[in-house]
Amino acid sequence: MSDAIFNLDAEVRTDLGKGASRRLRREDKVPAILYGAGKEPVSLTLAHNKVIQAQEFEAFYSHVLTLDIAGEKVDALVKDMQRHPFKPKVTHIDFLRVDKNKEVTTNIPLHFINEDKAESIKTEGGHAEHHMNDVEVTCLPGVLPEFIEVNLEPVGLGETVHLSDLVLPEGVVLVELAKGESHDLAVATIKTAKGPSADEVEEDDSEEAAPEE
């Protein structure tokens, strides 16, 4: 993956308001705001074509990005992104400033792996039910993972993977799990695949055996 995905040029904008934002979008630019780290918010614009390319990568949403603002490089995370309801256009982005010495809290995607290797699925007729697609974590920016893997290979039929089962990089804490044991939520379960009941099978057999009138 190119480093250009995580490095974006931005310009400070002084022309604010809905009308100004609409004009920017017509010029293929994306209005944005940068806030956090105890500093005043700064209104920005970015080139839409660069943003639309970058946002196709999953890591764009969890990776620490570098914004080049008039020669000043600022580390930031994407905290919110607004899109056009039906056009492939990004209409606004919220960036959060990142201080490498201060912890950040953000959502990290889950990658479910080895479903095809799980005996509970391959030979026992089970199927994996995912209960969540991402998790909220707190850590220093330097150890922020792009994703967290959920290994389903050892999970048996009827078993559930919980937050406490996830393998996290050192220094990374799950926000939900830090609230206590009662917040050890289910991440995925291997369930028995649903098939026809015995009554349904018997009824089907009876209908096939019935003589034609």
Residue 28 confidence (pLDDT)? 80
User: 16 and 38: one domain?
Assistant: yes
User: 77 and 110: one domain?
Assistant: no
Return the closest-CA partner of residue 65 out of 1, 131, 18, 138: 1
Question: In this structure, what CATH number is given to the domain that contains residue 74?
Answer: 2.40.240.10
* Domain membership of residue 73 as a residue range: 3-98
Per the domain annotation, does 199 fall within a domain? Answer: no
170: pLDDT strictly greater than 70: yes
User: 117 and 176: one domain?
Assistant: yes
pTM: 0.79
Would you call 99 exposed, middle or buried from its count of C-beta atoms within 10 A (0-12, 13-18, 19+)? middle
% of the chain at pLDDT higher than 70:
84
Last residue of a domain, one of 98, 113, 148: 98
Last residue of a domain, one of 50, 70, 98: 98
Inter-residue contact 109 to 58 (CB < 8 Å): yes
Question: In this structure, what CATH number is given to the domain that contains residue 180?
Answer: 2.170.120.20
Per the domain annotation, does 27 fall within a domain? Answer: yes
Helix, strand, coil share of the chain (percent; to 5): 25, 40, 35
Query: Residue 39, Cβ neighbours under 10 Å: how many?
Result: 11
Q: Could you give the number of structural domains in the chain? A: 2
Per the domain annotation, does 87 fall within a domain? Answer: yes
Over the stretch 87-139, which tens digit does the pLDDT of each residue have? Answer: 888 999 999 999 999 999 999 999 999 999 999 999 999 999 999 999 999 99
